[in-house]
Structure 1
Amino acid sequence: MLLGYARVSTEDQQLDLQRAALTRAGCQRLYEEKRSGAKRARPELERMLDHLRAGDVVVVSRLDRLARSTRDLLDIAERLRESDAGLRSLQEPWADTTSPAGRMVLTVFAGIAEFERALIHERTHSGRLAAQARGVRFGRPVKLSSDQVALAQRLIGEGQTVREVANMLKVHRSTLYRAIAPADTTSDMSG
């Protein structure tokens, strides 16, 4: 079955042109909505995807009506593939997963998107390493200053329990244990 999906971004825009093109293309059922494509929650798109059967073909007037990004398009195309359904765009004839050429083009897009994600990961990793080399600290902020850690070590060395010192510094005992452990691994930290 040919299923048409039509979308406009705002309530004051009309679906008439898309509706007419999808009907001319032979779509037996239309799913329509007036929502921004940038929004992940598109109820009619989800309803259509949930009702797909093997052999169905989703038809759109243009790909940007279905997805706003390559990643979004690939995610939707994967859901279609899992349902043994196809995708066809009226304005972009190369985007037809019911043909070998269309599947190949989508595979190339998927490869490019994966390559782009790998480059982003690599750049992010390099950026983190460079920032760490400059002394930037990642993670949660430190709860205890170096002066507080030194005070805690001194008080524990004088016989106070970790529990007492943690209460005085208004931190959990485990926070205090982590702070003093690297500097003091030999003293008794019971308490």
Structure 2
Amino acid sequence: MLIGYARVSTGDQDLAQQRAALKTAGCKRVYEEKVSGAKRDRPQLALLFDHLRADDVVTVTRLDRLARSTRDLLDIAERLDAAEVGLRSLAEPWADTTSPAGRMVLTVFAGIAEFERSLIHERTGRATAKAKGVRFGRPPALSGDQLALAQRLRDEGKRPREIAATLNVHVATLYRALSAGSGAERSAAE
């Protein structure tokens, strides 16, 4: 059975267009509410979930009527899937979990959301570690003492190839270390 869900955000908005579109689409029952989509506590949506049976299809005029965020949409879709219920959007034909293509699109969205969550976790973990003084990446090729020696030898007129040979590093490594060191000196002077 097709079951509709219609929602508007404020009391002064009208549900008539959504109701008509859902009835035209063949919905036998329509749950309606006037509440922000950002709220997780939506009484009519909860009631809809309570009355679902396997093989029902929850139909909305647009996905933003059902959920305000990708995470919220995926949570709802997972609940529907667990209840063996489909999801269909009239405005977004690709959002139809009763078809293989619609399930694939929702799976891609779920993968993107999971990827985004892992990036956020990684960024916040790195930020915390950096704040505690943890260094990331490869260790510097030259220690602070070696860098000071390289700068002194350069100031004395030694050629970069000689300095690099003395420190047992490639000349490109020496150039990078010296340019990074002079950038740090400039920052400290400012």
- The TM-score with structure 2 as length reference comes to 0.70
Distance 1:131 1:42 in 2: 40
Deviation digits for residues 112-146 of structure 1, max 9, x if unmatched? 00000000000000000011118xxxxxxxxxxxx
Q: Name the residue aligned to 2:186.
A: none
Q: How many residues align?
A: 134
Distance 2:132 2:51 in 1: 49
Distance 1:95 1:47 in 2: 22
Distance 1:40 1:98 in 2: 25
Distance 1:63 1:10 in 2: 17
Q: Aligned letter for 2:74?
A: L
Q: Name the residue aligned to 1:50.
A: 50
Q: Secondary structure at the match of 1:58?
A: strand
- Where do residues 112-127 of structure 1 align in structure 2 (5 Å cutoff)? 112-127=112-127
Q: Aligned letter for 1:46?
A: A
Identity of aligned residues (%): 74
- Where do residues 66-77 of structure 1 align in structure 2 (5 Å cutoff)? 66-77=66-77
- Structure 1, unmatched stretches of 5+, are 135-191
Q: Name the residue aligned to 2:162.
A: none
Q: Secondary structure at the match of 1:14?
A: coil
Q: Name the residue aligned to 1:104.
A: 104
Q: Aligned letter for 1:121?
A: H
Distance 1:58 1:36 in 2: 19
Distance 1:77 1:109 in 2: 11
Distance 2:120 2:50 in 1: 32
Q: Aligned letter for 1:35?
A: V
Q: Aligned letter for 1:129?
A: A
Q: Aligned letter for 2:36?
A: S
Q: Name the residue aligned to 2:84.
A: 84
Q: Name the residue aligned to 1:167.
A: none
Distance 1:39 1:2 in 2: 24
Q: Name the residue aligned to 2:20.
A: 20
Q: Secondary structure at the match of 2:123?
A: helix
Shift of 1:50: 1.8
Q: Aligned letter for 1:122?
A: E
Shift of 1:51: 1.4
Shift of 1:32: 0.1
Deviation digits for residues 43-101 of structure 1, max 9, x if unmatched? 00011012111000000000000000000000000000000000000000000000000
Deviating beyond 4 angstroms after TM superposition, the runs of 4 or more aligned structure 1 residues are none
Structure with a larger share of its residues in helix: 2
Q: Secondary structure at the match of 1:87?
A: strand
Q: Secondary structure at the match of 1:117?
A: helix
- Structure 2, unmatched stretches of 5+, are 135-190
Distance 1:46 1:133 in 2: 47
Q: Name the residue aligned to 1:62.
A: 62
- Where do residues 129-168 of structure 1 align in structure 2 (5 Å cutoff)? 129-133=129-133
Q: Name the residue aligned to 1:10.
A: 10
Shift of 1:19: 0.2
